[in-house]
Structure 1
Amino acid sequence: MSYSTQRITALDYARAWAIFGMIIVNYKLAMQAENDGATWLRTIAGLFEGRASALFVILAGIGVSLMTAKARNSKNKDLIRQSRNSLYRRSAFLFISGILLLLAGWSADILHYYAVFMLAASVLITVSDKMILGLFAAILLVSQMFLVVFDYSEGWDPGFHEYTGFWTLAGFCRNLIFNGFHPIFPWVCFFLIGMWIGRKQWLDRGKRKKVLLCSLLGTIVFESFSYFLIKWTSPVLDNEAANYLFTTKPMPPTMIYVLSGTCLAVAILAISFYVVDYFGNSLLTRAVINTGQLSLSHYIGHVIIGLGFLEIAGYLENGSLSFAISYGCGYFIIAIIFSYVWIKWMERGPVELIMRKFC
């Protein structure tokens, strides 16, 4: 397997596990099972919160960098224009798909945010690596400042399940930019760091071990930093304010959360490369790779099909955490089997085929 081929399949492998994590988190959210179940079960479910979707967005940034590499390296104006037009169309497709999911009642959609990230990428195709890192740092700082200056809870009910005024212009923009499930500030940082990683050869065999160790260490450092900052500042700020400013939970998305989430995502990427490198020919690994290739179809499917079935059965808001996790695992196993069979007959997933036709 060539490095370029392995690189793509490893990304698909990681993308599949990002989808799995998002399924677990979203089913837990949809069934309102956040505070149900044993402590160990809540801890396991909590590990996916904000991490799976962060990995998903970072992978999107990497994908855009790989897709536009020829245009960026050649500096050919026609190729750059073609790449930008393709990103414009993909952005429009994803935005419309996200809005349809929102209209269907799925308030935690990521696709309409994802569409804005794609739009940003179209502008940044030719900028330097330093510029991307500079934007990453600046947006991260501004996002942390927003948490101090503005009211993060505006629009939300006390349980952060319902958003009042979402379909008004002010509410939609506030949710999109500042206090939605995946707001531009700071979630575009994940996309930017993905674009930056996509330009590097970080994960080849010679550097992979170092990247894995450094990213795991970074995760530990930032999680520890968060813990001690909350502990030390609680007597001054009170515990609620300290958690608000220094948590590594995705809501509110603090600077430390983004840095910790980025490190963990890079570690998972490195592990994915190891798995594909050593076990790439196994049936299970190939099936998981196939699942990642159909990630957009599975994202939409787990909402429309997975949650739709529960709603018809009248069990959507009555599930326990153990049921939510079990149901999510079951759905993912079915998704793996479906993907393996589908790829034997078709090159792309159902939704991917539609997007490809227009983009």
Structure 2
Amino acid sequence: MSQPSQRLTALDYARAWAIFGMIIVNYKLAMQAENADPAWLRAIAGLFEGRASALFVVLAGIGVSLMTAKARRSMDKDIIRRNRKSLYRRSVFLLTAGMLLLLMDWNADILHDYAVFMLVAAVLMTVSDKLLLGLTVVSLLLSQIWLIVFDYSKGWDANFHAYTDFWTMNGFIRNLLWNGFHPIFPWVCFFLIGMWIGRKRWLEKENQRKILIYSLSGTVVLEMLSYSLITWTSPILDPESAAYLFATKPMPPTVLYVLSAGCSALTILSTCHYVIHKFENSRLNQAIIHTGQLSLSHYIGHIIIGLGFLEAINYLENGKLSFAIAYGCAYFIIAIVFSHVWRKWMKRGPVEWILRRFC
């Protein structure tokens, strides 16, 4: 297989694992599984928090860069106009899908945020690499200023599970831009980083080992820095304030979180490229690749079907982390089998087919 084709296959492979991580995190959230299981199990589940979805957004940025590469290289006005029109349509589609999920009381939806990312891509698809990086830095700094100046908890209930004024104009904009589950500031940074990476040769075969070492080292260093800063500043501030400023959890999304999650996304990406290069023809890996190709269908399906089934049998808010992880793993296995069978007969997933027809 040619290297460009192999690179695209590796991105599909990474999307599947991003979906898996999002399933675990979302099922943990939906089942309100917080403190009912051993610490080691909570630690394992915590590894996925804010990492899987960050990888998913980085992959979206890479995908948009690859999709618009011809327009960017040629600067042909007709091609640029067609690409922008396609991105606008994708934005409308994703916004509609996301709003439907929100109306179903799925507060952690990411699709309506993706709709904004598509608009960002339409505007920035032809700008220079330096401007992309500059906007990333500005967005990150702006989000951190907001964390210090404004009340991050505004709109949330005591447990950060429900956004009390989400369906008001002020509440919706505040949640979307600043203090939602995936606020545009700073989550647009992941998307812009993905757009930038998609223009580079970082993930080519000759660079994979180097990127893996650098990104893994960066993740470890940033996690150690976070721990040290929280430890050193806790006597001066209080532990809660120190964690608010220096933790690497997605809520609130600090500078250290964005940098650490970005490094971990690159670590997973380079690992996926290595695995595909070595073991692409494995039947299991082929099935996982097919799962990534149906990622949008599986994102919507794991909410409507997976959580819908638990709600139908009145077992949704059971509070058991062990069950949330087991159920998430079972759902992902079923998704792999479904994807492998579906792709034998159909080129695209159900939702992907609708998106393609719309865009």
TM-score, structure 1 length as denominator? 0.99
Query: How many pairs align?
Result: 359
The match for 1:193 is 193
Kept in 1: contact 2:36–2:319 (CA 8 A): no
Say whether 1:11 aligns with 2:11. Answer: yes
The match for 1:172 is 172
The match for 1:80 is 80
Alpha carbons of structure 1 residues 319 and 237: separation in structure 2 relative to 1, 3 Å: closer
The match for 2:119 is 119
Measured after TM superposition, the shift of residue 128 of structure 1 is 0.4
Cα distance in 2 for partners of 1:237, 1:139 equals: 26
- After TM superposition, the runs of 4+ consecutive aligned structure 1 residues lying more than 4 A away are none
The alignment partner of 1:36 has SS state of coil
Kept in 2: contact 1:27–1:307 (CA 8 A): yes
The match for 1:238 is 238
Measured after TM superposition, the shift of residue 36 of structure 1 is 2.1
Identity %: 71
Cα distance in 1 for partners of 2:19, 2:34 equals: 19
Q: Which amino acid aligns with 1:20?
A: F
> How big is each residue's C-alpha offset from its partner over 1:27-58, in whole Å with a ceiling of 9 and x where there is no partner?
00000002220011000000000000000000
The match for 2:71 is 71
The match for 1:21 is 21
Which is worse superposed, 203-212 or 47-56? 203-212
Cα distance in 2 for partners of 1:167, 1:111 equals: 17
1:1-359 correspondence to structure 2 within 5 Å = 1-359=1-359
Q: Which amino acid aligns with 1:247?
A: A
Cα distance in 2 for partners of 1:97, 1:171 equals: 20
Kept in 1: contact 2:61–2:195 (CA 8 A): yes
> How big is each residue's C-alpha offset from its partner over 1:76-118, in whole Å with a ceiling of 9 and x where there is no partner?
0110011000000000000000000000111110000011011
The alignment partner of 1:237 has SS state of coil
Q: Give RMSD over aligned pairs.
A: 0.6
Measured after TM superposition, the shift of residue 319 of structure 1 is 4.2
Query: Which runs of 5 or more structure 2 residues have no equivalent in the other structure?
Result: none
Cα distance in 1 for partners of 2:90, 2:336 equals: 25
Cα distance in 2 for partners of 1:56, 1:208 equals: 19
Q: Which amino acid aligns with 2:124?
A: L
Q: Which amino acid aligns with 1:56?
A: F
Kept in 2: contact 1:36–1:42 (CA 8 A): no
Query: Which runs of 5 or more structure 1 residues have no equivalent in the other structure?
Result: none
Cα distance in 2 for partners of 1:271, 1:341 equals: 26
Measured after TM superposition, the shift of residue 211 of structure 1 is 0.5
Cα distance in 2 for partners of 1:205, 1:315 equals: 46
Measured after TM superposition, the shift of residue 253 of structure 1 is 0.4
> How big is each residue's C-alpha offset from its partner over 1:215-240, in whole Å with a ceiling of 9 and x where there is no partner?
00000111111111111111111111
Cα distance in 2 for partners of 1:184, 1:34 equals: 26
